[in-house]
Structure 1
Amino acid sequence: MNNLWLVVALALLPGLGNFAGAMVAEFIRTTPRLLNFALHTASGIVIGVVAIELMPEALNNLAGWWIALSFAAGGAVYIGMETLLEKKQSAKSGGGSTGMWMIYVAVAVDLSGDGLMIGSGSAVGISLAIVLAAGQVLADFPEGYSVVANLRENGVARKRRIAVSLSFPLYCLGAALLAWFLLRSAPDAAKYVALSFVAGLLSVAAVEDMLEEAHEAANDNRSSALAFVGGFVLFTLVSSGLETVLSEGGASGGQGGSGSQETGEASNAT
């Protein structure tokens, strides 16, 4: 039960980071250039999560064909959701642009992926879930900013923008709990298949919608590329720092446990 509450707390972090970014965009005037930078930074962080955390875990524990299938499935699910939304928007508006809401869908899918990632990561190990949650807070702040800034630029009413912002934590929390309940007693292979699935889903979200929307907000320049690289580097540094701290803490706890065990064995021998 303690793990359940920890999963809930970790799952709320990305959504709250997203909400914080949304509130910055709500009360501080944005520009197309800032939106371009924010989306490039968020994309770099998401690609960092896939490359640094998710795929290495899968590669170390799954056969290549399982990774390929689950990654492809994740990408296909995202594309399917995108296609359904485009058809729905087209029916409502007679073929109008869906870009304004596709970035919201991209972030909603990303947050759901964050939840799946945290839930499945916690099923693998709590330390992995902590690293993933902390890293996603970094990505979700610019994502939340970009969604509300985009809606604001398109004249969406403030009440609707705030409702959109409040919905962000729910995606992550719901997906995390679902993944945790389904995977906590599942075979190890299923847990790593879930991580590969999320990797495919996040990769398509980052490349297909976040970067595309960044290009539409403002023309790319060298600073845009630097923002993307900076997002990747930032996540890498945070991930490695957290893993070092957690491994040192685990080593200290392990030494303490070993000492207690040795003491107990000595007592039994006596």
Structure 2
Amino acid sequence: MAIFTGVALDLFSDGVMIGTASLINPSLGLLLALGQVPADIPEGFAAIATLKRAKVKRSQRILLSLAFGIPILLGASIGYFVLRDAPEIITLSVLALTGGILTSVVIEEMISEAHERETSRTDPIFLTVGASLFALISVYLGS
């Protein structure tokens, strides 16, 4: 259950960020939501594989997979409805804090993992393509 809790906390924070960003600009909220989908798919596969390795029953794994939608929807609802009437400085602060925490966790994870194995020549290309795709979507949505 620790793996589910960890993933659920990550999804909840993603939801808060999406809900808060939607207050600032609905296009920004949509952009963040679209960006989270491909980012969270590998995390979901890894969580399910870990649960399978821990011999969790298939029916429980399916229920847990379906339950992953709850934290992100709850976080987005809280981010939107709680901060709806808050001053803009509070909304921007919550967005910056959430984004900063997620960024620092990702950077720390990437740096430690990058030193565990030899990197491929294609890794920088995929990183550049991913950043470029995010920038193109951002420009297209007008954020």
TM-score bracket, normalised by the shorter chain, equals 0.7 to 0.9
Asked whether 1:137 is paired with 2:37, we answer yes
8 A Cα contact 1:183 1:191, kept in partner = yes
Once the two structures are superposed, residues 109-143 of structure 1 have per-residue CA deviations (whole angstroms, 9 ceiling, x without a partner) of 11101110110000111111111111111111101
Q: 1:44-64 deviations in whole A, cap 9, x for unaligned?
A: xxxxxxxxxxxxxxxxxxxxx
Matches within 5 A, 1:248-259: none
TM-score by structure 1 length?
A: 0.46
Identity %: 32
Give 3-state SS (helix, strand or coil) of 1:222's partner: coil
RMSD: 2.9
Q: Is it true that 1:242 corresponds to 2:142 in the alignment? A: no
What CA distance in whole angstroms lies between the structure 1 residues aligned with 2:131 and 2:16?
20
Instruction: Find runs of 4+ consecutive structure 1 residues off by over 4 angstroms.
Output: 223-227, 229-232
Task: Give the Cα separation in 2 of the matches to 1:190 and 1:198.
Answer: 12
Name structure 2 gaps, 5 residues minimum.
none
1:171 aligns with 2:67: no
Q: Deviations over 1:159-192 (max 9, x none)?
A: 2211210111110001101111112222111111
| Counterpart amino acid of residue 244 in structure 1 | V
**Of the candidates 50, 68, 76, which is equivalent to residue 150 of structure 1?**
50
Query: Which residue of 84, 91, 110 maps to 1:184?
Result: 84
Distance 1:159 1:241, change over 3 A: same
Structure with greater helix share of residues: 1
**Where does the alignment leave 5 or more consecutive residues of structure 1 unmatched?**
1-100, 251-270
Aligned to 1:195: 95
Deviation at 1:106, TM superposition (A): 2.7
Answer yes or no: is 1:104 the counterpart of 2:4: yes
Q: What SS is found at the alignment partner of 1:183?
A: coil
The aligned runs of 1:1-270 (5 Å cut-off) are 101-203=1-103, 205-206=105-106, 220-223=116-119, 232-247=127-142
Cα drift, residue 197 of structure 1: 2.2
Q: How far is 1:225 from its partner?
A: 9.9
1:234 Cα deviation from its structure 2 partner = 5.0
Distance 1:224 1:154 in 2: 31
TM-score, normalisation: structure 2 = 0.81
